[in-house]
Protein backbone atom coordinates (compact mmCIF):
# COMPACT_ATOMS: atom_id res chain seq x y z
CA UNK A 1 0.00 0.00 0.00
CA UNK A 2 1.24 3.47 -0.88
CA UNK A 3 0.73 6.76 0.91
CA UNK A 4 1.40 10.16 -0.54
CA UNK A 5 3.75 12.48 1.29
CA UNK A 6 4.00 16.22 1.01
CA UNK A 7 7.22 18.17 1.27
CA UNK A 8 6.76 21.89 1.74
CA UNK A 9 8.86 24.07 -0.51
CA UNK A 10 11.03 26.61 1.34
CA UNK A 11 10.18 29.57 -0.90
CA UNK A 12 6.45 29.30 -0.19
CA UNK A 13 5.62 31.40 2.85
CA UNK A 14 2.06 30.54 3.80
CA UNK A 15 0.16 27.78 2.13
CA UNK A 16 -3.55 28.38 1.43
CA UNK A 17 -6.03 26.79 3.80
CA UNK A 18 -7.11 23.22 2.95
CA UNK A 19 -4.41 22.89 0.27
CA UNK A 20 -3.45 19.45 1.57
CA UNK A 21 -7.02 18.20 1.16
CA UNK A 22 -7.12 19.58 -2.39
CA UNK A 23 -3.78 17.96 -3.20
CA UNK A 24 -4.95 14.60 -1.87
CA UNK A 25 -8.12 14.88 -3.97
CA UNK A 26 -5.96 15.60 -7.00
CA UNK A 27 -3.73 12.60 -6.27
CA UNK A 28 -6.84 10.44 -5.84
CA UNK A 29 -8.01 11.75 -9.23
CA UNK A 30 -11.21 13.18 -7.77
CA UNK A 31 -10.14 16.76 -8.54
CA UNK A 32 -8.64 18.19 -11.72
CA UNK A 33 -5.62 20.45 -11.65
CA UNK A 34 -7.86 23.47 -12.23
CA UNK A 35 -9.35 22.97 -8.76
CA UNK A 36 -5.99 23.16 -7.01
CA UNK A 37 -5.16 26.33 -5.08
CA UNK A 38 -2.83 28.81 -6.73
CA UNK A 39 0.43 28.62 -4.79
CA UNK A 40 2.17 31.17 -6.99
CA UNK A 41 0.91 34.08 -4.90
CA UNK A 42 2.42 32.51 -1.80
CA UNK A 43 5.98 32.25 -3.13
CA UNK A 44 8.52 34.40 -1.34
CA UNK A 45 10.42 35.70 -4.33
CA UNK A 46 12.83 37.63 -2.11
CA UNK A 47 14.43 34.27 -1.29
CA UNK A 48 14.58 33.16 -4.90
CA UNK A 49 14.03 35.92 -7.49
CA UNK A 50 14.60 33.49 -10.39
CA UNK A 51 11.87 31.12 -9.24
CA UNK A 52 9.63 29.95 -12.07
CA UNK A 53 6.43 28.58 -10.62
CA UNK A 54 5.34 25.33 -12.26
CA UNK A 55 1.84 25.02 -13.60
CA UNK A 56 -0.38 22.32 -12.15
CA UNK A 57 -0.80 20.94 -15.67
CA UNK A 58 2.91 20.04 -15.54
CA UNK A 59 2.22 17.99 -12.41
CA UNK A 60 -0.67 16.22 -14.14
CA UNK A 61 1.56 14.76 -16.87
- Whether pLDDT at 38 is above 70: yes
| pLDDT tens track for 12-34 | 667 778 888 998 899 899 999 88
**Residue range 41-51: mean pLDDT, rounded:** 66
The larger pLDDT score, comparing residue 18 to residue 59, is at 18
The larger pLDDT score, comparing residue 36 to residue 47, is at 36
Q: What is the pTM of this model?
A: 0.52
Report the chain's terminal Cα–Cα distance, integer Å: 22
In this structure, the number of other CB atoms found within 10 A of the CB of residue 26 comes to 19
Amino acid sequence: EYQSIVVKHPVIRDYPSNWEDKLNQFLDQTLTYTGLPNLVGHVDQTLNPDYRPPGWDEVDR
